[in-house]
A and B are shown apart, each in its own frame.
Chain A
Amino acid sequence: MSFAEIFTTAPNTVVGWLIIAVIVIAIMYFMRVPAHRAILSLSRSLYKIFRIAAASLMHAEARMRDRNREVLLAAGLEEAERHLEREFERIDAAVTRDLSACPTVHRRMSEQITVVEEDHQESTNVPPAPPGWIDAVEAVANIPSKGDPMVANILEQIHKSLVKAQDDAINAYRDTVEERHKRLSGIKPYWRELHQLMGVVEKKVDSLLARTNIIDTKIEQYETVKKGTDQAVRRLSASSMKEFIVSVCVLCIAIGGAGVNFTLIARPLAEMVGGNTAVGGFQVNEVAALVIILIEIFMGLLFMESLRITRLFPLVGALPDKFRRLITYVSLSILSLLATFEAGLAYMREILLKDELATSALLRGGEALDTVATNEFVWITTTVQMGMGFVLPFALTMVAIPLEMFFASMRTLVGIVAAWSVRSLAVTLRAIGGSFRFLGEFLVNVYDAICAPPIWMERLVKSNIGAERKARNAKASNTTMREAL
């Protein structure tokens, strides 16, 4: 039986299988050492390759993490700067609005105070001076009359004149006092006005103080971000996640709105651009409707940019105020124009719908024609459609805000997900590398298990040879000892 015949016929019998097994085991036994080396070197190589790959991925992940941190902090810093800038703008507006009136208030207060002072001055109670001739009267009165009726008469006349003068003086004094009281009463409204003016000033100052408190808080946040603390990074990451989710939700709503807008204008646009020609698998009127909606969104973006509400295009924000205002007016005008067009198209849509229903009814036999024509509530749907056509373009303007949030937060999120993926890959590669190492050792053990019979025989032979050698050595040593003795 040739070797080839053994392989072709032997497997059919148990003996044949045994022969093959013996041959294979013998070959494996003789190749044991180089096979062990090969298996171990292969497993170690794979282990090292995977370890190196994992290490480089971990390194890349660390760099990505650092980069993400930098980007996050930069974004946070920009955001904080933006908030601060807004607050300063507000405080500037408040100062311009409120404190610009301060000179006027001051002037009014000074006027009020002058009036009050003058009135107060005039209301000072000065007793009327006694007539100058009173001493002369007193001297005449001291002249001894000695019963002279002439003198008595003169004195009587003097007395009367004196009494009269006193009455006049008292009356004049009373009048003056009355006038003083009137003046003092007149001061009251001025005091009230002064009080009110002071209240206004106090309110404005309080408002400014409140704003300064907000600015203090913002500056604290800014400093935290600038220091790049872990707390700031965590806060910014959480904020980014929240912004991303919110922006996605709002964008979904905006897409719904754009869809409604599309439905409103696509059909009537077929009256202008035709409804049969196709461009890239889409009908021309649908493409036109999409273009109009995209233009509206773009105008909305420009409008928001020019107002510095969003900062998707830094170039617009950096333009001089004059140009920015121009962009604001132009974009708003185009938006208004498009909104008006859309309202018209929505009206046209209703007319077309009626026309189509009437035609269908006619083709069906005219039963439904009257129902269509006499529906008195149609104006409600027409008005609603026109209103939606007009409002939706302006509503789409607001897309700029969630869009900016989406892009800003997406960078952070993508960075985090990428770093996490790279880290996961690195861990996986590390695990695979480790498993290759253990697999090599396992395969060596399996190899030895297959070659167990010859190994056992080898050990048996070695132990016999060892025993014989020991016996021989012992015998030889005994002989030597005897000879020595």
Chain B
Amino acid sequence: MKRVIAAATLLVALTLSGCGDPPKQGHGVYMLIDTSGTYTEELDKAAQIISFILSRLNPGDSFAVARIDTGSFSEKDIIAKVTFDDRPSIANQQKRQFQEAISEFVRTVSPARHTDITGGILQASQFLDEKDPGQKTILVFSDLAEDLDPEYRAARDQIQFDIVDFEVVALNVTKLRSDNIDPREYLLRLEDWQRRVELGGGRWRVINDLDALERILR
């Protein structure tokens, strides 16, 4: 009898050990939009990308769009955020409302004086960590030229990202006038951001061809 009980206990234990935590599901996307200087002229492209992403996200996925301005490590910079409902009809309604919010933002946005990309990425990582989806993607719609307020600079330089398993995708990284004079600056800028992202445990990609939007979400 003892043997039978022991065998049953072992069987139950083995069965329970097979039932671990279910794998995380869903996709979390946080998009940072550069609103500094002349980059505001590119916002129509950003709206297109957002529409595309909305069409690709499914119920249960999370999406947030935030602006990059002087101090981007703030919830106030989030333009719209949503976690799509499990029910497809509600999710569709949420998508429409989200798109309306973005359209409104594009119409009314005013250029920021400084560009705090680091703060934006930190905010994005916090948001996505809270949502804890299966796949985390941070989209940075910017020329990647960080122009920090002197007040923020010292603190930002010391910050290292903790973005393990995150994918950071730089979108529409336009060349500045200075890049045209010395293209190495552009390449160095990209390399620097790749290094920072990979140092933090994330994966880095750059997509400048906006005709191939399918590659954004893999």
Q: Which residues of A contact B (CB under 8 A)?
A: 267, 270-271, 274-278, 351-352, 355-356, 358-360, 362-365
CB contact between B86 and one of A276, A358, A360, A365 (< 8 Å): that residue: A276
Note all chain B residues with C-beta closer than 8 A to A360. Answer: 55
B87 and A271 form a contact (CB under 8 A): yes
Give the contacting residue for B25; candidates A271, A278, A356; CB below 8 A.
A278
Within 8 A of A (CB), among B85-105: 86-89, 92, 95-96, 99
Nearest chain-B residue to A351 (Cβ)? Answer: B89
* A359-B96 contact, Cβ under 8 Å, with A271-B87, A275-B88, A277-B86: yes
* In the complex, B40 has a CB within 8 A of chain A: no
How many angstroms from the CA of A365 to the CA of B51 in the assembled complex?
Answer: 9
Contact of A276 among B51, B52, B60 (CB under 8 A): B60
**DSSP majority for the B interface?**
helix
Residues in B whose Cβ lies below 8 Å from that of A278: 22, 25
Chain A residues within 8 Å of B58, by CB: 275-276
In contact, A276 and B26 (Cβ under 8 angstroms): yes
Whether the Cβ atoms of A363 and B54 lie closer than 8 Å is yes
Tell me, in angstroms, the Cα distance from A360 to B88 when the chains sit together. 13
B55 touches A363 (CB 8 A): yes
A residues near B89, Cβ cutoff 8 Å: 271, 351-352, 355
**Chain B residue at minimum C-beta to C-beta distance from A278:** B25
Bound state CA distance, A277 and B88, in angstroms? 13
Give complex CA distance A233, B99 in Å: 73
Q: Which residues of A contact B92 (CB under 8 A)?
A: 355-356, 358-359
22 pairs across A/B with beta carbons < 8 Å? A270-B86, A270-B87, A271-B87, A271-B88, A274-B87, A276-B58, A276-B59, A277-B60, A278-B25, A352-B89, A355-B89, A355-B92, A356-B88, A359-B55, A359-B96, A360-B55, A362-B96, A362-B99, A363-B55, A363-B99, A364-B55, A365-B51
In the bound complex, what is the Cα–Cα distance between A270 and B59 (angstroms)? Answer: 10
| Docked-complex contact B86 and A363, CB < 8 angstroms | no
Using CB atoms, name the residue of chain B closest to A280: B22
Report B-chain residues with C-beta under 8 Å of the C-beta of A270. 59, 86-88
- By CB atoms of chain A within 10 A, which of B26, B88, B92 has the most? B88
- The answer to whether B88 and A267 have CB atoms under 8 Å apart is yes
Q: Which residue of B lies closest to A275 (CB)?
A: B59
Which interface residue of A276, A278, A364 has the most chain B CB atoms within 10 A? A276
Are B95 and A363 closer than 8 Å at their CB atoms? yes
Counted as pairs of residues, one from A and one from B, with CB atoms less than 8 Å apart, the total is 54
Q: Tell whether, in the assembled complex, residue B55 and residue A274 are in contact, meaning their CB atoms are under 8 Å apart.
A: no
Nearest-CB residue, chain B, relative to A277: B86
Residue of A352, A363, A365 touching B88 (CB-CB under 8 A): A352
In the complex the two chains form, what is the Cα distance from A397 to B59 in whole Å? Answer: 34
Chain B 40-69: CB-based contact to A (< 8 A → 1; otherwise 0)? 000000000001101100111000000000
Complex Cα gap A363–B51 (Å): 5
**Nearest CB in chain B: distance from A287 CB, A:** 14
B26 closest partner in A (C-beta): A276
Which residues of the other chain, A, contact B86 by a CB distance below 8 angstroms? 270, 274-277
A359 to B91, CA, bound (A): 10
Q: A355-B88, A355-B92, A364-B51 are in contact. List 8 more A-B contacts (CB 8 A).
A: A270-B88, A275-B59, A276-B25, A276-B58, A276-B86, A277-B86, A359-B95, A359-B96
In the complex, chain B residues whose CB is within 8 Å of the CB of A352: 88-89
Query: What residues of A have a CB within 8 angstroms of the CB of B88 in the complex?
Result: 267, 270-271, 275, 352, 355-356
Please report the C-alpha to C-alpha distance between residue A364 and residue B59 in the assembled complex, in whole angstroms: 19
Q: Tell which of B87, B95, B96 has the most Cβ of chain A within 10 Å.
A: B87
Considering the chains assembled together, what is the distance between the CA atoms of A364 and B60 in angstroms? 22
B contact residues around A359 at 8 Å (CB):
55, 92, 95-96
- B residues 1-57 with Cβ under 8 Å of A? 22, 25-26, 51-52, 54-55
From B52, which residue of chain A is reached at the shortest CB distance?
Answer: A363
Query: Are A275 and B87 closer than 8 Å at their CB atoms?
Result: yes
Are A274 and B59 touching (Cβ within 8 A)? yes
Q: Which residues of B have CB within 8 Å of A271? A: 87-89
Q: Which residues of A contact B26 (CB under 8 A)?
A: 276
In the complex, what distance in Å separates the CA atom of A267 from the CA atom of B86?
12
Least CB distance, A217 to chain B, in whole angstroms: 56
Question: Which residue of chain B has the shortest Cβ distance to A268 in the bound complex?
Answer: B88
CA distance A275 to B90 in the complex (A): 12
Shortest beta-carbon distance from A373 to chain B in Å: 15
Contact of B60 among A267, A275, A351, A363 (CB under 8 A): A275
Contacts of A363 in B (CB 8 A): 51-52, 54-55, 95, 99
Query: Which chain A positions have C-beta within 8 A of B60?
Result: 274-277
Contacts of B55 in A (CB 8 A): 359-360, 363-364
A317, B86: Cα distance in complex, Å: 44
